[in-house]
C-alpha cells in the first residue's frame, strides 16, 4: 500500500531525495532553496547534470551519479514547468501529472521510499508550495496503484511487485491537511480500481453488493435489494438481463445525508459484473475484458466513498444495478419483449445491448423514489463511443445545459475529460419498434452511442439528467498521465469535484 507523509521542512541529508527545479528559461534552470543548497554541497553537480543530460520537459526526472563522501542514496531532479513558459502556465493538473510521473520513475529505478525536498523559493506559476505538495501527492497516489493480489511468485517477485511504498514531503505542518485530503480521495479511487480489476469469479453481484457495506463505516446508509424485492418492484428489464445466470441479481442503494433536507443528487451505475453478450454472444477474443463492464457501478461506489470520506455538505444517493449477462437455456432471447419497471415495453433485438436495460429500471426507480434534483449515470454502454472519441474522453449526453457545463468543467479540472454528444427527437426513430414501445438497439452502425442515450432518456422523466458513456476510458491498455495500465477509476474524482463545486453551499 502506497503512503505519503509530512517530515521536517528542511532539505534531507540522507536517503533518496527528490529536488524540484524549474523548467529551463533563457538558458538557465530556475532553482528553489533546496536545489541551490544541494548544488552548493555537490560543487555544482545539479546544474551540470541538467545542462549535460537529456533535455527534460515538465515532469521529467534526472537521477544524479553521486560523488563519494555524500550520505544520499540518490538525488533525483524533478522538472516543474514548461520550457520558456511564463507565470501561470503551470496548472494544478500539470503538477498532479508531474507527481504521477515521479512515482512511476521512482518505481522503475527500484526506489521504495523517497523524500521530496522543500519547494520553497521555486516559481510554480501562482500555485503555492503547500498546494503543490498536495497535487504532487495526488498524482503519486494515483500512479502508484498496483493490483497484484493474485501474484503467487517467490519472495523476490513479491518484493519487486510492491513498487514505490512511501513518498514523504519536507513541508510545513500546514500542508498536512491537503495531504490527508488527497489520501482519502485516492483511497476512493483505489476502491473503484480494485472493484474493476477483480475477476468475475471473485466479484459477482452478491460479492459486489457485500463490498459496498464498507461504506457504512464512513456514515453511508447502504441498502441491498435482493431478487425478491426486484421482482416485487417489477424491474423486468434488469431481471431479463440476469435470467441466464445462476447468480442472483441485486440493486444497491447508498445514501449520504450531509445536506439537510434538500433533494439529493442521484448517481446511477451500470454493474454488469460479466458480459458475455448473452445469446448474442461476443467473440472470444477480448471477452476477458468484460469483467470491467461494471465500471460505472464501481465509479459510483468510489464517488460515494469520496463524498463521505470528506463529509461533503450535500445529499447524494448512489444506486447501482448488479447482474451477469450469460447465455443459457433460461437466457433472454433476441426477439423477446420485456416490460420495464416504468411499464414500458422493449423488444430485445440484441442481448448484448444489455446495459441500457439494467439502467432503465434503476433510473426509473431512483427518480421515482428519491425525486432527485439531478441524475448522473455512468456506464460502459457502447463500443460506438470508442469509435467516436477513442480512449481520450468519455461521451456526455445531457438534457440540461447547466448540468453538462458543470460536468465538463469538473472533467477538465480533474483530468477526466468529457465530450458532449447530441440527443434530440430526430434520434428517437432509431429505437422505434414495430411491436413494442421501443427496441434496445439503434439503426445498425448509425449513432450507436446516441441510440443508447435516447433509450435511457425515456426513464428519467423531467429530472435534469446526464449520461456518461465511459466505455473508452474505464480501462487502459497503456500508461496514462495519472494512472498505469488497467483500471483507471474514471469518474470518481470527476463526480467528487462536481459535488464540491455545485452541490455544497
| Rounded Cα gap, residues 372 and 307, in angstroms | 17
| Rounded Cα gap, residues 395 and 384, in angstroms | 10
| Rounded Cα gap, residues 498 and 485, in angstroms | 26
Assess whether 162 carries a catalytic annotation.
no
Cα 441 to Cα 344, 354, 400: the distances in Å are 15, 10, 24
| Rounded Cα gap, residues 243 and 424, in angstroms | 33
Give the N- to C-terminal CA distance of the chain in Å, as an integer. Answer: 35
Burial per residue of 303-328, b for 16 or more beta-carbon CB atoms within 10 angstroms, e otherwise: bbbbbbbbebebbbbbbbbbbbbbbe
Annotated catalytic residue, options 282, 313, 344, 420: 282
Alpha helices in 333-420 (DSSP H): 355-370, 384-389, 401-414
Assess whether 356 carries a catalytic annotation.
yes
295 neighbors 244 (Cβ within 8 angstroms)? no
Annotated catalytic residue, options 356, 393, 439, 497: 356
Q: What values do phi and psi take at 444, rounded to 5?
A: 60, -125
- What counts of helices (H) and strands (E) characterise the chain? 15, 19
**The three three-digit cell numbers of residue 322, written as one number:** 448488479
Nearest to 466 by CA among 265, 271, 279: 265
DSSP annotation of 314 reads S
Is beta strand 166-170 parallel, antiparallel or unpaired with respect to 61-63? unpaired
Is 330 strand, coil or helix?
coil
Which residues participate in catalysis according to the annotation? Answer: 282, 356
Amino acid at each position: 500500500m502506497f503512503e505519503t507523509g509530512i517530515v521536517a521542512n528542511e532539505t534531507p541529508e540522507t536517503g533518496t531525495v527528490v529536488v524540484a527545479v524549474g523548467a529551463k528559461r533563457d538558458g538557465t534552470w530556475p532553482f528553489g532553496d533546496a536545489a541551490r543548497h544541494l548544488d552548493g554541497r555537490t560543487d555544482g553537480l545539479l546544474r551540470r547534470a541538467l545542462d549535460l543530460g537529456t533535455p527534460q520537459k515538465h515532469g521529467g526526472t534526472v537521477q544524479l551519479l553521486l560523488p563519494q563522501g555524500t550520505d544520499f542514496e540518490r538525488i533525483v531532479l524533478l522538472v516543474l514547468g514548461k520550457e520558456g513558459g511564463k507565470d501561470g502556465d503551470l496548472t494544478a493538473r500539470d503538477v498532479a501529472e508531474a507527481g504521477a510521473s515521479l512515482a512511476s520513475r521512482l518505481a522503475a529505478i527500484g526506489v521504495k521510499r523517497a523524500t521530496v525536498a522543500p519547494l520553497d523559493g521555486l516559481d510554480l506559476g501562482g500555485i503555492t508550495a503547500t498546494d503543490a505538495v498536495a497535487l504532487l501527492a495526488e498524482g503519486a497516489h494515483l500512479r502508484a496503484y498496483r493490483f497484484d493480489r493474485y501474484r503467487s511468485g517467490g519472495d523476490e517477485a513479491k518484493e519487486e511487485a510492491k513498487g514505490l511504498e512511501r513518498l514523504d514531503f519536507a513541508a510545513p505542518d500546514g500542508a498536512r491537511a491537503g495531504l490527508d485530503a488527497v489520501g482519502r480521495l485516492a483511497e476512493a479511487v483505489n476502491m473503484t480500481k480494485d472493484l474493476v480489476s477483480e475477476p468475475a469469479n471473485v466479484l459477482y453481484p452478491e460479492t459486489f453488493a457485500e463490498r459496498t457495506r464498507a461504506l457504512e463505516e464512513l456514515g453511508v446508509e447502504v441498502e441491498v435489494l435482493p431478487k425478491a424485492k426486484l421482482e416485487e418492484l417489477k424491474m423486468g428489464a434488469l431481471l431479463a438481463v440476469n435470467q441466464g445466470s445462476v447468480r442472483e441479481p441485486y440493486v444497491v442503494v447508498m445514501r449520504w445525508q450531509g445536506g439537510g433536507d434538500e433533494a439529493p443528487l442521484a448517481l446511477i451505475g451500470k454493474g454488469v459484473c460479466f458480459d458475455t453478450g448473452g445469446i448474442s454472444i461476443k467473440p472470444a477474443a477480448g471477452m476477458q475484458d468484460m469483467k470491467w463492464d461494471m465500471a460505472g457501478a464501481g465509479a459510483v461506489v468510489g464517488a460515494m466513498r469520496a463524498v463521505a470520506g470528506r463529509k461533503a455538505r450535500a445529499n447524494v444517493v448512489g444506486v447501482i444495478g448488479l447482474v451477469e449477462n450469460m447465455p443459457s437455456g433460461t437466457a433472454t432471447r433476441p426477439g423477446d419483449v420485456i416490460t420495464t419497471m416504468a411499464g414500458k415495453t422493449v423488444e430485445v433485438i440484441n442481448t448484448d445491448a444489455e446495459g441500457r436495460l439494467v439502467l432503465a429500471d434503476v433510473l426509473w426507480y431512483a427518480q421515482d423514489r428519491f425525486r432527485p434534483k439531478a441524475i448522473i449515470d455512468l456506464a460502459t454502454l457502447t463500443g460506438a463511443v470508442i469509435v467516436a472519441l477513442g480512449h481520450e474522453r468519455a461521451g456526455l449526453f445531457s438534457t440540461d445545459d447547466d448540468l453538462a457545463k458543470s460536468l465538463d468543467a469538473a472533467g477538465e479540472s480533474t483530468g477526466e475529460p468529457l465530450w458532449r454528444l447530441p440527443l434530440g427527437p430526430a434520434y428517437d426513430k432509431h429505437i422505434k419498434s414495430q411491436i413494442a414501445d421501443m427496441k434496445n438497439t439503434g439503426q445498425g452502425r448509425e449513432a450507436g452511442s446516441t441510440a443508447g442515450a435516447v433509450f435511457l432518456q425515456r426513464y428519467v422523466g423531467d429530472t435534469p439528467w446526464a449520461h456518461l458513456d465511459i466505455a473508452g476510458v474505464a480501462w487502459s491498455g497503456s500508461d496514462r498521465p495519472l494512472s498505469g495500465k488497467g483500471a483507471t477509476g474514471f469518474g470518481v474524482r470527476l463526480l467528487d469535484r462536481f459535488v464540491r463545486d455545485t452541490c455544497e453551499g
